Structure formats: structure tokens, C-alpha cells
Amino acid sequence: MCNSNILIKIIENMGKNIIENKDYLTELDRAIGDADHGINMSKGFSAVDAKLDEMSGKDWGSILKTVAMTLISTVGGASGPLYGTAFLRASTVVDGKMEIDKEDIINMFEQAVEGIKMRGKSNKGDKTILDALIPAFEALKLAYEEGKDTKIAFKMAEEAALEGVEYTKDIIAKKGRASYLGERSIGHQDPGATSTYIMIKSINEVLEQ
Ligand code: ADP
Ligand code: MG
Ligand code: MG
């Protein structure tokens, strides 16, 4: 259903959007962290960009694994290993596949969520990446269960991710640097949830092309 060329386009678009939002993500992190989230993510995705040619034509698993290893090895900070683990876990369910279907998409997403939960010892409500990723995954799964097509399912996932980002403003950070602020983290939007939203939006932009 979806061949691996589309994944290359998605990864490329994620990089473009992350790099375009470098300052925005960094400013969000300035309020409740150490002002480097945009810098970290841009560095990681620039390194991923440099490997796009080499990844082209490979299977889904290999591409996702290269993205994972590149993020882990180039991104300083918490977000590198977390996103790296998400991509790595996702890669395991599509190992060797040139084409994937809806079930693979659900499995990849689920593994990404589980990977971050495990690596970050975190869950929904901690004011992290997971506050965008878990609602997005749940919306995607529900949309598929209701028989929606991939484009619509991802649109619903994007909306749920955005709601999740908004929700991070209302809650106390329980994980990562922002947790040092305790109650003072309330009122601020989580940078990691925001980068997750940008990545999901990047998937949609390619699906809509
Ligand atoms: P660092 O905090 O090391 O400077 P970044 O600024 O790149 O790393 O990333 C910060 C983001 O990482 C946070 O906004 C949050 O969304 C995410 N994060 C931090 N710790 C965790 C965790 N344990 N689980 C999930 N996400 C986390
Ligand atoms: Mg930071
Ligand atoms: Mg840092």
C-alpha cells in the first residue's frame, strides 16, 4: 500500500519542518528547560538529511533504523535517545518490507509509543513527547477501526497531537528538565510534544501531496 519512497519524502519533510522551527522549539525550551530543543533536533535531522540518498530505495525497516541510529548518535539531550528509540522500535515491525499496510502503520506507531514510555519511564500526563504522541496514536487507531483511510486517519492523529500540545500548557512536568520547575512549569507548552506535533504534521503534508 505505501512503498518506502514515501517514507523518504516524509523523513525529508520532517527535517525541513524541524529545521524551520528550530528557533521556535528552542524558545519553548528556554521557558522550562535549557533552550536547546530546536538546536538538538535540527542537528539530528540535518545529519539524517545527509543520509537521504543512501537510504533511498531501502526497505522501511532499514530506513527507520538509519534515522534512529543517526538521531541517537547526533542529538545531545534527552530527545535524541527518546526519538531514536521510537524510530528504532518502529523499524523492527517493518524489517525488510518495501511496502506496508494499515496494520504495519498501527504497529509502528504503537512501538514508537512503547519505546518512549520504556526509555523515558514516562506516560501521558507527564508533559512530554507522549502527550502529543499517545493521543495521536489513539486517534489513528480509532480512525482505522472506523474504516477511515490513511489520509483521514493521519489528519485525525494530527488534530489529536495538537490538542495534546495545548494540554501540556495546563499540566505540571513530571519528567525531564522541566520537572525541576514543578508548579512553575504550568502555563508553558512542552517543546518535545511540539516537535512530535511538527513531525506528525509533516507526515500529513506528504500524504496530501
Ligand atoms: P534536554 O532536556 O536534555 O535538553 P531536549 O531539550 O532536546 O533535551 O528535549 C526536551 C524534551 O524532551 C522535553 O520537552 C520533553 O518533551 C522530552 N522529554 C524529556 N524527558 C522525557 C521523558 N522521560 N519521557 C518523554 N519525553 C521526555
Ligand atoms: Mg533542552
Ligand atoms: Mg539540553
Residue type, 81: P
Q: Whose CA is nearest to atom 19 of ligand 1?
A: 176
C-alpha cell at 20: 524551520
What is the number of the ligand 1 atom nearest to the C-alpha of 177?
2
pLDDT confidence of residue 155: 98
Residues 3-48: tens digit of each pLDDT: 999 999 999 999 999 999 999 999 999 999 999 999 999 999 999 9
- Identify the sign of the CA torsion 154, 156, 200, 129: negative
- Average of per-residue pLDDT across 42-63: 97
Q: Whose CA is nearest to atom 6 of ligand 1?
A: 37
Ligand nearest to the CA of 34: 2
Decide if pLDDT at 1 tops 80.
no
- Residue 7 C-alpha from the chain's centroid: 14
In the chain the domains, ranked by start, together with CATH numbers, are: 2-207 (1.25.40.340)
In order of 79, 135, 186, 188, the CA distances from 181 in angstroms are 18, 25, 9, 11
Decide if pLDDT at 2 tops 90.
no
Name the phi and psi angles at 14, rounded to 5.
Answer: -60, -45
Contact call for residues 91 and 60 (beta carbons, < 8 A): yes
Residue that is written with C-alpha cell 489520509 in the block:
151
Separation of alpha carbons 75 and 171, rounded Å: 26
pLDDT confidence of residue 169: 98
User: By three-state DSSP, how is residue 147 classified?
Assistant: coil
Residues 141-168: tens digit of each pLDDT: 999 999 999 999 999 999 999 999 999 9
Separation of alpha carbons 167 and 155, rounded Å: 19
Q: How many CB atoms lie within 10 A of CB 179?
A: 16
Residues 74-117: tens digit of each pLDDT: 998 999 999 999 999 999 999 999 999 999 999 999 999 999 99
Q: Whose CA is nearest to atom 21 of ligand 1?
A: 176
pLDDT confidence of residue 68: 98
- Strands (E) in the chain, as ranges, are 2-3, 99-100
Identify the residues whose C-beta falls under 6 Å from ligand 1. Answer: 29, 33-34, 36-37, 40, 77-79, 82, 116, 120, 122, 128-130, 175-177, 190-193
Decide: pTM greater than 0.95. yes
Ligand nearest to the CA of 126: 1
Decide if pLDDT at 128 tops 90.
yes
Separation of alpha carbons 66 and 84, rounded Å: 10
User: ipTM beyond 0.90?
Assistant: yes
